[in-house]
Structure 1
Amino acid sequence: MAKRDRKAPNDDSELTTGDDADTGIDVDVIEADEMRPQGKRRARERRTASGDSKPGTVGVVDPTDEEGANAASRNPFVRIWVFLRQVVTEMKKVIWPTRREMIVYSIGVLVFVAAVTAAIFGMDIGFAKLTLLVFG
């Protein structure tokens, strides 16, 4: 059992033993919802309240969902509207870089591009001189 799942001791008498049975937490009583991770990064496999595992539904489209019902529609405007709503929803999940990170990344990309350009330019000049030397 993880440390965060243990009950905090009320007094010094509970600190004497390291056994999980003495912490006052009944492992069978913990609900599945309490143990489920929250936020963007969730487990791919879910556990039911009985402890059985079932595969996650990450990326699976529910046909009874409002967007799924509209996607089956032949109206192209409805499909475009649903697509744009899904794009906005996904863009809200993106972890955007800070201004400083963006500047550092941009400088790094520019330095790398300049180095590769210089290497290719040097090889091009070298091969041109080698070709003139050989075929003169």
Structure 2
Amino acid sequence: MSDTTNSGAPKARTGPAQFLREVRTELRRVAWPSRGEVVQYSLIVLVTTLIIGAFIFGLDQLFGQLVFWIFG
């Protein structure tokens, strides 16, 4: 990918101050979740992680016992 515009001229670099202004402008446009939504989604992730972790732990215990039974 080249550093030229459609007209073929090289693009000018954006300075740090301009970059920060543009970032600030874009962040104002973001649809931020409410506090309640963040709490709800965090709980969903936590519960899902615990369930999957328990499932993997159970499989590990099962396969461990199976290996000891076969090679024991």
TM-score, length of structure 1 as denominator length = 0.41
Query: Identity over the aligned pairs, expressed in percent?
Result: 41
Spell out, residue by residue over 1:11-51, the C-alpha distance to the aligned partner (whole angstroms, 9 max, x if none): xxxxxxxxxxxxxxxxxxxxxxxxxxxxxxxxxxxxxxxxx
Map of 1:118 onto structure 2: 54
Map of 1:128 onto structure 2: 64
Question: What aligned pairs does 1:45-124 form with structure 2 within 5 A after superposition?
Answer: 72-73=12-13, 78=15, 80-124=16-60
Distance 1:82 1:134, change over 3 A: farther
TM-score, length of structure 2 as denominator length = 0.71
Alpha-carbon offset, residue 120 of structure 1? 0.9
Distance 1:83 1:124, change over 3 A: farther
Alpha-carbon offset, residue 121 of structure 1? 0.8
Greater radius of gyration (CA): 1
RMSD over aligned Cα atoms: 2.1
Structure 1 or 2: larger strand share? 1
- Count how many residue pairs are aligned between Structure 1 and Structure 2: 63
Alpha-carbon offset, residue 86 of structure 1? 2.5
Alpha-carbon offset, residue 85 of structure 1? 2.5
Alpha-carbon offset, residue 92 of structure 1? 1.0
Q: Where in structure 2 are there 5+ consecutive unaligned residues?
A: 6-10
Inter-partner Cα distance in structure 2 for 1:124 and 1:81: 54
* Displacement over 6 Å in runs of 4+: none
Inter-partner Cα distance in structure 1 for 2:29 and 2:52: 34
Q: Where in structure 1 are there 5+ consecutive unaligned residues?
A: 1-62, 64-70
